[in-house]
Amino acid sequence: MSHSLASPAKPLASASRTSSVGDVVFAAIAKAAGVFVLLLLGAIIVSLFIGGWPTFRAFGMGFLFNADWDPVQNVFGGAVPIYGTLVTAVLAIVMAVPLAFGIAFYLTELAPSWFRRPVGTAIELLAAVPSIIYGMWGFFMIVPFMAEWVQPPLIDALSDIPVVGALFKGPPFGTGIFTASLILAVMILPFIAATMRDVFQTVPAVYKESAYGLGCTTWEVMRSIVIPYTRVSVVGGIMLGLGRALGETMAVTFVIGNTNRLSTSLFGPGNTIASIVALEFPESQAGSLKLSSLLALGFILFVISFIVLAISRTLLRPGAK
């Protein structure tokens, strides 16, 4: 990314020195703002951890792997929502990235120029749709469609095959992990597509023209010039989408089936961390182990998001291949 940005201009030495007090004050304010963000982040992590501490103390590391969520017996395990969060987010990325790449490729290289603006605007508008709208659309349009047309034939055709069949077993509710991933894919598509389109456009025309001059096809220009040049930002856009998919609450809650049972089937119901917290929070009493478990799940979501970011940063370090 750094090499695509012009280095900021050096302040002129001849600038007046009369406002040095103002400089000091402004520097202090800017520094305070920077430190404040760090403190805020730290405070959120610490308060989540303190809130979740009774759960970690009661269940230990087992909390991560226990699939039992039983409010009556006061036994709580986070395996189902953690699994659901990871699987839906990864599936959504798998579905959204090729499509987003296609959109960005078409818009920057293939589409006639009069067509680029309306499609580009449409993508940006998609990104502005509130998630509750996606949830309702998913619940009232996609879920019945899945239950009626997609799941029954797939279940009939595939569920008797060993191993693969396990992924497609179960009654055709229409809701479930697969439907949730589909909605998530649509939601994060505009973010990824818009980022890709923008960064593809930053490739200097002279590079591409040179490649075309050497006789490259459009695809070869894309593969050998545009993608290597923008690799960092493309992965950044995907991470942006992954981050949104991990934390998405309302849309997922509508369509995932909200079940605290581990399901191997993609059509089976599940739960995500964000959705279980949203659903169970109002009925959790202060000081109860249940509330503490929800906070612990919040802490784990925080950690997962942090790990995703850290991995992307490491991969994107200049020189890393």
Partner 1 sequence: MKTLSLALVAMLAAAGPVAAQQITGAGATFPAPVYAKWGEAAKAAVGIELNYQAIGSGGGQNQIFNRTVDFGASDAPVDGAKLAEQKLLQFPAVMGAVVPIVNIPGVELNKLKLTGEILAEIYAGKITKWNDAKITAINAGLALPALAIAPVYRADGSGTTFVFTSYLSAANAEWKAGVGAAASVKWPAGNGAKGNDGIAATVKQVKGAIGYVENAYATQNKLISTQLKNKAGHFVEPTLAAFSSAAASGDWTKAQNYAVDLIDTAGATSWPIVSATFILLPKDPKDAARSAAVMKFFDWAYTNGGKIASDLEYIALPKPVQDAVRASWKSEIKG
Q: Contact between 147 and partner 1 (CB under 8 A)?
A: yes
Token pair of 282 as six digits: 């109002």
Smallest separation, CB 286 to partner 1 (Å): 5
Distances (CA, A) of 206 to 120, 202, 212, 296, 307: 24, 11, 10, 52, 38
**How many residues of this chain bind partner 1 (CB under 8 A)?**
30
Smallest separation, CB 43 to partner 1 (Å): 22
State which of residues 156, 160, 209, 283 lies at the interface with partner 1 (CB under 8 A).
283
Q: Contact between 241 and partner 1 (CB under 8 A)?
A: no
DSSP per residue over 96-126, as a string?
A: HHHHHHHHHHIIIIIS-HHHHHHHHHHHHHH
The pattern of x and - marking residues 286 through 315 that bind partner 1 according to CB under 8 A reads: x-----------------------------
Reduced to 3 states (helix: H, G, I; strand: E, B; else coil), residue 69 is strand
Q: Contact between 71 and partner 1 (CB under 8 A)?
A: yes
Smallest separation, CB 57 to partner 1 (Å): 22
Q: Which of 68, 198 has the CB closer to partner 1?
A: 68
Interacting positions 103-142 with partner 1 (CB under 8 A): 139-140
Using a CB cutoff of 8 Å and minimum separation of 24, what contacts does 70-74 make?
A: 71/280, 71/290, 74/289, 74/290
Q: Contact between 190 and partner 1 (CB under 8 A)?
A: no
Bridge-based pairing state of the strands 75-76 and 69-70: antiparallel
Closest CA relative to residue 86, chosen from 294, 274, 260, 237: 274
Smallest separation, CB 81 to partner 1 (Å): 12
State which of residues 201, 218, 284, 305 lies at the interface with partner 1 (CB under 8 A).
284
State which of residues 174, 190, 237, 298 lies at the interface with partner 1 (CB under 8 A).
174
State which of residues 51, 165, 171, 243 lies at the interface with partner 1 (CB under 8 A).
171
Helices H / strands E in the chain, number of each: 14, 2
Token pair of 130 as six digits: 């509130």
Q: Contact between 173 and partner 1 (CB under 8 A)?
A: yes
Q: Contact between 194 and partner 1 (CB under 8 A)?
A: no
Q: How far apart are CA 159 and CA 22, in angstroms?
A: 71
User: Residue 6 carries which DSSP code?
Assistant: P
Residue ranges binding partner 1 (CB under 8 A)? 68-73, 139-140, 143-144, 147, 171, 173-175, 253-254, 257-261, 269, 279-280, 282-286
